[in-house]
């Protein structure tokens, strides 16, 4: 079958609905996944989908395709991504599929595909699926796999129970919850109330057309709206979630947005109190604050590839207790399964605040101070973004010969170039899951920060391939 090869990314599969992805193509991708599973002697999977308008019809097509390979399906229906991972343990199956495009705009959809407990496909496996699809070579089964729908209310209760039993929140917090009409709308306000919180809801009427914009907690404008509500309501904290629930954003009680590298440092600080000397995994987009906090607290910082699949795999390889990303994925291996669960992450920070009897701002006030941009996303075609970064990297390294450079020569397979200075960092990289480039920069004083902002903006504007008016662009105010 002829398909857009650019849908098959380093760990997920994502494309535009009715252009890259149709029910027929979804069925073919499911057959490719089913073939991969059968070659690994996996014969049962769990399947769920988020609230995107194409979710249910794509789930039907996906199930049709994967069961044709003799794979039995436990169908979860609408849920959050972390509930698919949880279902793997609940139903004892290392296969799983979540139909979602996470933080991509409403006209996208895609697949997170599991090949082990809490583990999703890597580059080789994604390309293996692509190969089966393009060659129409699928496992031929003598029997069609079965489909067993779960009782959704019962399944939800089991997930709630499993998450809530892992935390003990000793204070009644007042929190803002912003779902931006995503799938967390029907789960997270309820679970936080059960944890004892007073919850003020924001955009929690679920609507897969995302009428108020894409649910993306890296978007400064979205987070500023949460911050305004925190101050207005006198809340203890504000939390925003992405479309499928595995990523979050934080606002403290003063209305300050905490970019998620600060959150990585907060979680590392808490965990290293209990697991001194442990390894902490973080991605290349994170601020130097993470390394400094981990080292100060006696941990071992390990910077690694950006991407939830890569971070999870590195945590397992290094036997680390925690990992996190600037995008808002947090992975707890101390008292949970080690996969990204935005709901659990929120409960963990509230638990720690209640234990220490501190506010969120007090928790990180002792950390090193940086002036930092958020993660900035600029459109760039999938077939051009790698060449842009490769060309840019040469100039970047020449411009800063005394900086500590991290690129693919340091982290095999890395997708960009990072320069670390005595007073901050800059990074340019191409996205693994969309046609865009991401950048971040920081400094310890305003003058240097503005110099780096100017440098980044000038560098990006020198490439005509960059698309400055695109639905995938986020936080452009920082580089225009």
The residues assigned a catalytic role are: 102
139: Cβ contacts below 8 Å, ≥ 6 apart: 31, 34, 35, 38, 39, 69, 70
How far is 194 from 172, CA to CA, in rounded Å?
11
24: Cβ contacts below 8 Å, ≥ 6 apart: 1, 61
Q: What does the buried/exposed string (b/e) look like for 68-89 if buried means 16 or more CB atoms within 10 Å of the residue's CB?
A: bbbbbbbbbebbbbbbbbbbbe
DSSP for 213-274 reads ----TT-HHHHHHHHHHHHHHT-SEEEEE-TTSS-EEEE-TTS-EE-HHHHHHHHHHHHHHH
How far is 20 from 161, CA to CA, in rounded Å?
38
How far is 201 from 53, CA to CA, in rounded Å?
22
DSSP 84: H
Alpha carbon of 303 to those of 286, 324, 414: distances in Å? 9, 10, 11
């Amino acid at each position: 079958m002829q398909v857009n090869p650019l849908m098959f990314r380093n760990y997920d599969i994502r494309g535009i609905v009715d252009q890259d992805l149709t029910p027929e193509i979804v069925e073919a991708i499911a057959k490719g996944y089913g073939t991969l599973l059968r070659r690994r002697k996996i014969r049962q999977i769990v399947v769920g989908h988020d609230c995107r308008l194409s979710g249910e019809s794509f789930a039907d097509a996906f199930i049709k395709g994967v069961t044709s390979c003799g794979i039995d399906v436990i169908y979860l229906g609408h849920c959050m991504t972390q509930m698919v991972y949880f279902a793997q343990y609940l139903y004892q199956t290392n296969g799983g599929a979540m139909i979602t495009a996470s933080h991509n705009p409403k006209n996208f959809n895609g697949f997170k595909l599991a090949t082990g407990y809490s583990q999703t496909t890597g580059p080789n496996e994604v390309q293996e699926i692509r190969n089966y699809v393009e060659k129409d070579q699928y496992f031929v089964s003598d029997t069609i796999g079965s489909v067993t729908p779960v009782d959704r209310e019962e399944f939800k209760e089991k997930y709630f129970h499993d998450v809530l039993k892992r935390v003990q929140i000793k204070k009644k917090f007042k929190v803002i919850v912003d779902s931006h009409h995503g799938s967390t709308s029907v789960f997270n306000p309820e679970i936080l109330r059960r944890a004892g919180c007073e919850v003020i809801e924001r955009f929690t009427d679920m609507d897969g057309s995302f009428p108020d914009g894409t649910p993306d907690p890296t978007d400064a404008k979205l987070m500023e709206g949460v911050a305004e509500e925190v101050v207005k309501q006198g809340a203890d904290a504000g939390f925003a979630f992405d479309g499928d629930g595995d990523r979050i954003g934080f606002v403290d009680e003063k209305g300050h947005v905490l970019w998620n590298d600060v959150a990585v440092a907060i979680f590392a600080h808490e965990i290293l109190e209990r697991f001194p000397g442990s390894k902490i995994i973080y991605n290349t987009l994170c601020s130097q604050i993470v390394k400094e906090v981990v080292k100060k607290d006696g941990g071992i910082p390990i910077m690694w590839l950006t991407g939830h699949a890569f971070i999870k795999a590195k945590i397992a390889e290094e036997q680390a207790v925690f990992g996190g990303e600037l995008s808002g994925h947090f992975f707890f291996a101390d008292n949970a399964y080690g996969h990204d669960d935005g709901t659990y992450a929120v409960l963990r920070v509230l638990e720690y605040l209640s234990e220490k009897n501190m506010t969120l701002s007090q928790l990180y006030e002792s950390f090193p101070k940086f002036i930092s941009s958020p993660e900035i996303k600029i459109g760039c075609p999938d077939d051009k973004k790698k060449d842009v970064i490769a060309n840019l990297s040469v100039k970047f390294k020449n411009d800063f010969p005394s900086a500590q450079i991290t690129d693919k020569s340091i982290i095999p397979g890395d997708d960009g170039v990072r320069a670390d200075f005595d007073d901050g960092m800059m990074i340019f990289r191409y996205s693994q899951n969309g046609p865009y480039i991401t950048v971040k920069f920081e400094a310890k004083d305003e003058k240097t920060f503005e110099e780096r902002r100017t440098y980044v903006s000038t560098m990006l504007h020198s490439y005509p391939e960059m698309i400055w008016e695109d639905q995938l662009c986020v936080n452009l105010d920082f580089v225009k």
